[in-house]
Structure 1
Amino acid sequence: MSVEIKVPTVGESISEVTLSQWLKQDGDYVEMDENIAELESDKATFELPAEKAGILRIVAQEGDTLEIGALVATIEEGGASAAASEKKPEAPKATENVQDSAPIASAQADGSSNYATGTASPAAAKILREKDIDPASLKGTGKDGRITKEDAEKADKTEAPKAKPAEPAKPATTAEAPKAPSGSRNERREKLSSLRKTIAKRLVAVKNETAMLTTFNEVNMKPIMDLRAKYKEIFKEKHGVGLGFMSFFTKAVCTALKEWRAVNARIDGDEIVYSDFVDVSIAVSAPKGLVVPVIRNADSLSLHEIEKAVIDLATKARDNKLTIEEMTGGTFTITNGGVFGSMMSTPIINAPQSAILGMHNIIERPVAENGQVVIRPMMYIALSYDHRIIDGRESVSFLVRVKQLLEDPARLLLEI
């Protein structure tokens, strides 16, 4: 008797998913609740578990777009021994030449190789195809020499030096023929993932459907950097997390949003929805694209609680472990392009929110203080906002308040 494995319901607004990769191969024996495949929706990636123990029979292929409830695979009754027997390699053909067959027999006898040796798992095979690496060139670290996903991720393509192309023969005329361009000119095509297509669609919609403007300011980061340098060891020893910039920015944003509530609002049809709480979305660069997990009730959290939430969400994002609930909602977004070296940018609003704050690189620059030119670690900050709901006075005042709080972090603790 077999059990059908179908695409589960993963969210009210999700009608289809993409089968991104198989974690098991056809004919493998799987345990109950063991993850057999990864499915990707327009919001998150999640794993598909086996509903019973048995032999896996694959129906859908990697890259297929499947509707909710579509058949993905079946699992037949059977033990691990039955699955292994199906994959048992053919015995070498008998030969009269004993010397030719002897090396094969000895290699199998000492267990140095078998059918799994040099075979890539589905996840590893996909990575190797993307890197254009021949699995035969790798030595697997998995069971029986199988090439694992980790082996594929660590592998680097090593190309033999290419021979210098021969120069084309010159024609009999005095004009020289154009030389062919040198170097590799390969192209590779990949199907857009569901997540990437959704990101593209939403970004274009924001540009077309909102009256988006961006206002800028700059922040002297020296007070925060001095505070971190003085207390970072005590902070980490007491709370178990480092004291980063994101917690200061989140606290400053929450304070400013309480004072300028339109920046924390959104348009819903013919109404403006004002929230008396602050759910801060943190933009994180994940392997499959930009995601924005949410820190719930950030306005009620302390610095160390914000730091722990940021680390937890960022780790889940990089491991593709975020749930739909962790990426749903949010009233305001913070994005930090500075970690990649960005000097200044105009971030795009994360709809249906009405504003987003962009952090940037910290650069030492000469600035004037009390009539003197001094060198200070400066950061440009940018607020992109929807002018339909947020006026210039509100946007500029909000950003000035954030600057004021960051340059005098004691105000964050005293709430003044």
Structure 2
Amino acid sequence: MSSSVDILVPNLPESVTDATVAVWHKKSGDNIQQDDILLEIETDKIMLEVPAPNTGVLISILAPEGSIVISGQILGKIELTYDIPAEKDNAHTISKHQQASFMSIASKNIFTTNQDNEFHNVCSPSVRKLIAEHDLKNINIQGSGTKGRITHKDVEAHIIPPKQTLQESTQKTFENIQTNTKIQKSCDNRTTTRVTMNRLRQKIAERLVAVTNNTAMLTTFNEVNMQPIITIKNKYKELFQKNYGIKLGFMSFYVKAVLEGLRNFPEINASIDGEEIVYYNYFDINIAVSTPRGLITPVLRNVDTLSIADIEKDIKSLAEKGRNGKLTLEELSGGNFTITNGGVFGSLISTPIINPPQSAILGMHAIKDRPVSSNGQVVVLPMMYLALSYDHRLIDGKDSVRFLVYIKELLEDPIRLLLKI
């Protein structure tokens, strides 16, 4: 006896009308365990994993990679099989655990009793097999799937890949780029490669053009001596990590300085809505994070209630989620002001672009030893350029300069951040 169930597009966020099927992790004819990740769909904000609703066989894929889909649309079908044998003369019925064991053996996913007991409730047989093959039984693997279940990706993150030669690595990268691309050749072997722009990149392009067309954006610059913060970091980094379990970075100081700046310059913690100015009485700050799909800006909520340790932990969590495609729509929505740090990539100075509908964005850059004048003498200090891009429709030039100077003064005298003066 057999029947089938539909694989459906999950309910998309309210602001998202459709999505693109990014990748199928299974192919037609594969044995499927309930909660296995079948495919990922991409919106202009987040990637959504679609788990298997039941155990069975994937019998059809109705929306191949690249398809545009909407909420509730059928993506494929799973055939449910009930082929567990039972002897008529047996007075005892087969228990659910025995049925599960039989189906596991039937699909060639055989485990020892200890392995099965250890992972039975947190991952599928195929995932347990992967754990056993790579001897990861003693590793604490955090599950990112439905109800905290461990997925293939979670296990693969702990697998050390074999070393590749530079040639093999380059060839593999080129082969990956060729997926979903169109290569046009000419008679002299000169080629071009066309790659479909992902949804996030499309949205970024759209928003950047909109900012350029719809705001009067200007940028003001300054520089800051980072030696005081570097001294604090070097003095307390080991004690800080011991007490809080997180490294003390620069970003928490930047966030604290911006918080005090927004308190003192309310027009920067505001936005334009039609013919009205909206002043925010709370402090939600976006932190720009680079991901394989593009730049995203998750939000630190209610920064005025967070300690430096809280900020460091939240930033690390958001950055990891961003790189792994695990951020939720709520974590990406809203925010009153954005901080972007191009210095982590070596940028010496740049002009950041406003994150609409916000009115300003602060750009941090690489810290470099430079000769500067101090008390009539030339000394070498670790200096960093600051860049504040702002919407001149709302923020006057004098206020933008005063805000940036205030940030500079706080960073050069970080004790003021603790005293809030």
Q: What interval of TM-score do these two structures reach, taking the shorter chain for normalisation? A: 0.7 to 0.9
Aligned counterpart, 1:29: 31
Superposed, which structure 2 residues align to 1:47-66 within 5 Å?
47-56=49-58, 57-66=60-69
The size of the alignment, in residue pairs, is: 334
Inter-CA distance 357–157: structure 2 relative to 1 (3 Å threshold): closer
Aligned counterpart, 1:266: 271
Residues 192-246 of structure 1: per-residue CA shift (max 9 Å, x gap): 1111111100010001000100000000000000110001010110011111000
**How far apart are residue 81 of structure 1 and its match?**
8.1
**DSSP 3-state at the match of 1:316:** helix
Question: Of the candidates 247, 255, 269, which is equivalent to residue 260 of structure 2?
Answer: 255
Letter aligned with residue 400 of structure 1: V
Structure 1 Cα separation of the partners of residues 225 and 335 of structure 2: 28
Superposed, which structure 2 residues align to 1:150-169 within 5 Å?
156-157=169-170
Inter-CA distance 288–158: structure 2 relative to 1 (3 Å threshold): closer
Aligned counterpart, 1:415: 420
Letter aligned with residue 367 of structure 1: V
**How far apart are residue 157 of structure 1 and its match?**
4.1
If you compute each CA radius of gyration, which structure gives the higher value, 1 or 2? 1
Superposed, which structure 2 residues align to 1:4-403 within 5 Å?
4-56=6-58, 57-78=60-81, 156-157=169-170, 185-403=190-408
**How far apart are residue 398 of structure 1 and its match?**
0.7
**How far apart are residue 394 of structure 1 and its match?**
1.3
**How far apart are residue 67 of structure 1 and its match?**
2.0
Structure 1 Cα separation of the partners of residues 61 and 105 of structure 2: 17
After TM superposition, the score normalised by the length of structure 2 is 0.75
Inter-CA distance 231–380: structure 2 relative to 1 (3 Å threshold): same
Inter-CA distance 70–245: structure 2 relative to 1 (3 Å threshold): same
Q: Is the 8 A contact 1:4 1:71 kept in 2?
A: yes
Residues 105-154 of structure 1: per-residue CA shift (max 9 Å, x gap): xxxxxxxxxxxxxxxxxxxxxxxxxxxxxxxxxxxxx9xxxxxx986997
**DSSP 3-state at the match of 2:267:** helix
**How far apart are residue 338 of structure 1 and its match?**
0.5
**DSSP 3-state at the match of 2:352:** coil
Aligned counterpart, 2:148: none
In the alignment, structure 2 segments of 5+ residues that lack a partner are 83-102, 109-151, 153-158, 173-185
Residues 293-337 of structure 1: per-residue CA shift (max 9 Å, x gap): 001011221111000000000000010111111000010000000
Letter aligned with residue 282 of structure 1: I
Letter aligned with residue 11 of structure 2: T
Q: Is the 8 A contact 2:219 2:387 kept in 1?
A: yes
Q: Is the 8 A contact 2:22 2:65 kept in 1?
A: yes
**How far apart are residue 181 of structure 1 and its match?**
12
Question: Of the candidates 374, 388, 409, which is equivalent to residue 404 of structure 1?
Answer: 409
**How far apart are residue 270 of structure 1 and its match?**
1.8
Letter aligned with residue 53 of structure 1: T
Structure 2 Cα separation of the partners of residues 150 and 197 of structure 1: 33
Q: Is the 8 A contact 1:282 1:295 kept in 2?
A: yes
Letter aligned with residue 74 of structure 2: L
Q: Is the 8 A contact 2:37 2:49 kept in 1?
A: yes
Structure 1 Cα separation of the partners of residues 388 and 211 of structure 2: 15
After TM superposition, the score normalised by the length of structure 1 is 0.76
Inter-CA distance 337–410: structure 2 relative to 1 (3 Å threshold): same
**How far apart are residue 266 of structure 1 and its match?**
0.8
Aligned-residue identity in percent: 53
Q: Is the 8 A contact 1:27 1:83 kept in 2?
A: no
Structure 1 Cα separation of the partners of residues 276 and 33 of structure 2: 52
Structure 2 Cα separation of the partners of residues 83 and 289 of structure 1: 43
Structure 2 Cα separation of the partners of residues 312 and 181 of structure 1: 51
Q: Is the 8 A contact 1:284 1:292 kept in 2?
A: yes
Letter aligned with residue 374 of structure 1: V
In the alignment, structure 1 segments of 5+ residues that lack a partner are 86-141, 143-148, 160-179
